[in-house]
Amino acid sequence: MKLLASTRSAFLRPVVSVAVAIVSVAALAGSALAHDGDDSDGKSRILTLKLRDYKNQMRELVEGGYDIAGANPDTGLVDIVQRADSRQPFDKAIFGQTVDVRSFDPAIAPDPGYKNPAEVEELVNRIKNNHPDLVQVESFGRTHEGRDLWAIRITAPATTKDGDKPVVFLNALHHAREVMTVEVALDAAEYLTTQYATNPEVQNWLNRAEIWIVPMVNPDGSNKVWTGDNMWRKNTTGSDGVDVNRNYPYRWNGCNGSSGSPYNDTYRGPSAGSENETQAMMGLIERIRPVYSISFHSYSELVLYPYSCDGERVPQREVVEGGGREMANLLVSDAGSGKYRPGTSWEILYAVDGGDIDWMYHEHNVIPYVIELNGMSQGFQPSFSAWRNKTVTKLRAAWQYVIKRALGSGVRGKVSSSGESAVDAVVRITNLAKHGDAGQMIKVKSDGTFHAVLVPGTYKLVVASGNRTVERTVLVGGDLLRMDVTL
Ligand SMILES: [Zn+2]
């Protein structure tokens, strides 16, 4: 349901110098945002600041609990949401120079082209009904307010048993106001299902891989965005909500990358994994064990990979960070020049703890990315007609990249022992060309399968379960090798 539906909620950037005139133009157009240099009248605003010292001041902003909407590490610009009813005074002068001020009315619903929870549910079911041969749909959890969390599973044929193929996982809208991310996830489902009949590349992907798509992780928050607060980020647990993407258990509250105050937009929740959405996502990921995952967020035009606490890096930098760089290079910025920027969160934004990608990588060997889509000029809710198609088309290159990579260089197999799946087996993989390579440890799935994405080379695989061990040397080229092991 769309209360207060507006004709257009673009970020208007009118060249007008009188604040009063701008506000009335915006009101007539139903705009959520208008430029406005005066911030003494108690309106909600997004301030664009040019920081004097990007890295250190971003940390100060996070630790101060400010609501950072987006940032550009190249220009040192950052957008801060300053609400009229903010409980926290903000002295912007200490951070740097104010470049722009846009007032917004939180009560105006987003551009009606974007999807609310009921529309997402309807679309998910329509995709299934249009392509029952490829699609299964399930509710994998329920929110605090009782909304279903929907997952779409796409593979050919739809009856393929779980675990037979590499899984790629796409999810959107951990953060309620990031409405464009839902469009990207739904477009992936539409694209794969409608292209399958005629596009040999899509046939190859769906014959060989399983794609899981969660278009809306946080429907309660989304409902709030559509019914009274277009700048809402968290879910709605308690009176103030929890930031679902600071609530995952790995390093929860671990590195000043979240807030302990329920009033702040990065509130981590009362305990690790306390939220229904977090628990449901963890259960789903544990069950399907994706090879790759992309969590779509907005905005800033970044590709983020783990780990997210200061100075921490994953052991498999070649695959994880290299893949992030390749993906970023496929994404041209909305301004038309330059590309998305790859990096860890602590390198190009700020430290994050309790985020999904660190948990996925650490617990389940998933290679996970966050893509912060759209630029600072587009923001959270750019004009649907101007930006929706451009954005979803551009982002196809990213999710298609991870599907192709999941089907490329690497080793996939199943470990069994006396005819049964060796459910407690661990596979250690080391690159023989790298002296002293610590390698990676992969816990097999509950059905005994494992999947390691590798760069071409010669590897030693040591498969161990209890006191039994099998060792193999494999030459990995450009394709995915199948290697089953009996202990
Ligand atoms: Zn986000």
pLDDT tens, residue by residue, 258-278? 999 999 999 999 999 999 999
pLDDT digits (tens, 9 = 90+) for 55-74: 999 999 988 888 999 999 99
Ligand 1 centre to CA of 7 (Å) is 25
For residue 82, the Cα-to-chain-centroid distance in whole angstroms is: 24
Per-residue burial over 172-191, b if 16 or more Cβ lie within 10 Å, else e, is bbbbbbbbbbbbbbbbbbbb
* Contacts of 192 by beta carbon, 8 Å cutoff, 6+ apart: 134, 154, 202, 205, 206, 211
Residue 368 Cα to ligand 1 midpoint, Å, equals 15
pLDDT at 12 (0 to 100):
33
Q: How far apart are CA 114 and CA 216, in angstroms?
A: 12
Mean pLDDT of 281-302: 97
| Alpha carbons 358 and 368: distance in angstroms, whole number | 8
410-486: CATH superfamily:
Carboxypeptidase-like, regulatory domain (2.60.40.1120)
pLDDT computed for residue 4 by the predictor? 38
Give the distance (Å) from ligand 1 centre to CA of residue 146.
22
Using one digit for the tens of pLDDT, what is the confidence trace for 163-210? Answer: 889 999 999 999 999 999 999 999 999 999 999 999 999 999 999 999
What mean pLDDT do residues 315-325 have? 95
Tokens of 470: 């099998």
Matching CATH number, 117-406, of 3.40.630.10, 3.40.50.2300, 3.40.50.10380, 3.30.470.20: 3.40.630.10
111: pLDDT strictly greater than 80: yes
**Ligand 1 centroid vs 210 CA: distance in angstroms?**
25
Of residues 177 and 92, more confidence is placed in 177
List CB contacts of 154: < 8 A, sequence separation 6 or more. 134, 135, 189, 192, 193, 206, 210, 211, 212, 213
Pairing of strands 457-465, 426-431: antiparallel
Residue 120 confidence (pLDDT) above 50: yes
Distance 175 CA to ligand 1 centre (A): 5
Q: Are 321 and 314 in contact (CB under 8 A)?
A: yes
| Residue 35, pLDDT score | 61
CATH 3.30.70 domain locations along the chain: 19-104
19-104 is classed CATH 3.30.70 = yes
The pLDDT value given to residue 87 = 66
User: What pLDDT does residue 91 have?
Assistant: 75
- Identify the band that residue 19 occupies on the pLDDT scale cut at 50, 70 and 90: very low
* End-to-end C-alpha distance for the chain, whole angstroms: 56
Rounded-to-integer distance, Cα 212 and Cα 196, Å: 16
pLDDT digits (tens, 9 = 90+) for 41-59: 678 999 999 999 999 999 9
User: Where in the chain do CATH 3.40.630.10 domains reside?
Assistant: 117-406
Q: What is the pLDDT of residue 32?
A: 52
CA 89 / ligand 1 centre spacing (Å): 23
With beta carbons less than 8 A apart as the criterion, state whether 33 and 258 touch.
no
How close is the Cα of 306 to the center of ligand 1, in Å?
15
pLDDT of residue 422: 78
Phi-psi map region of 91: left, alpha, beta (phi>0 left; psi -120 to 50 alpha): beta
pLDDT digits (tens, 9 = 90+) for 358-385: 999 999 999 999 999 999 999 999 999 9
**Closest among 234, 286, 280 to 261, alpha carbons compared:** 234
Nearby residues of 55 by Cβ (< 8 Å), 6 or more positions away: none
pLDDT in tens, 408-418: 999 999 999 88
User: What pLDDT was estimated at residue 40?
Assistant: 55
Residue 90 has pLDDT above 50, yes or no: yes
Q: Give the pLDDT confidence score for residue 437 in this predicted structure.
A: 76
Q: List the structure tokens of 207.
A: 């014959």
Strand partners, 480: 410
Report CA(295)–ligand 1 centroid distance (Å).
Answer: 9
**Whether the predicted pLDDT of 482 surpasses 60:** yes
Positions of CATH 2.60.40.1120 in the chain: 410-486
Give Cβ neighbours of residue 144 (< 8 Å, ≥ 6 apart): 220, 235, 236, 237, 275, 276
28 pLDDT higher than 60: no
DSSP string, 218-247: -HHHHHHHHTT-TT--S--STTT---GGG-
CA-CA-CA-CA torsion sign (126, 129, 133, 138): positive
Cα of 217 from ligand 1 centre, angstroms? 11
Residue 403 has pLDDT above 70, yes or no: yes
* Short-list 177, 165, 174, 184, CA closest to 398: 184
Query: Which residues participate in catalysis according to the annotation?
Result: 372
Backbone angles phi, psi at 298, to 5 degrees: -145, 155
Closest CA to 250 of 172, 342, 312, 163: 312
E-assigned strands of 52-93?
67-72, 77-82
Instruction: Give dist(CA 81, CA 83) in Å, integer.
Output: 6
How far does residue 273's CA lie from ligand 1's centre (Å)?
A: 18
Write out the E strands in 93-192.
Answer: 96-104, 135-142, 148-154, 167-172
Q: What is the percent of the chain with per-residue pLDDT over 70, rounded to a whole number?
A: 91
- Using 50, 70 and 90 to split pLDDT, how confident is the model at 23? very low
Average pLDDT, the chain: 90
What is the 370 CA–ligand 1 centroid distance (Å)? 9
pLDDT band at 14 (very low <50, low <70, confident <90, very high): very low
How far is CA 181 from its chain centroid?
Answer: 8
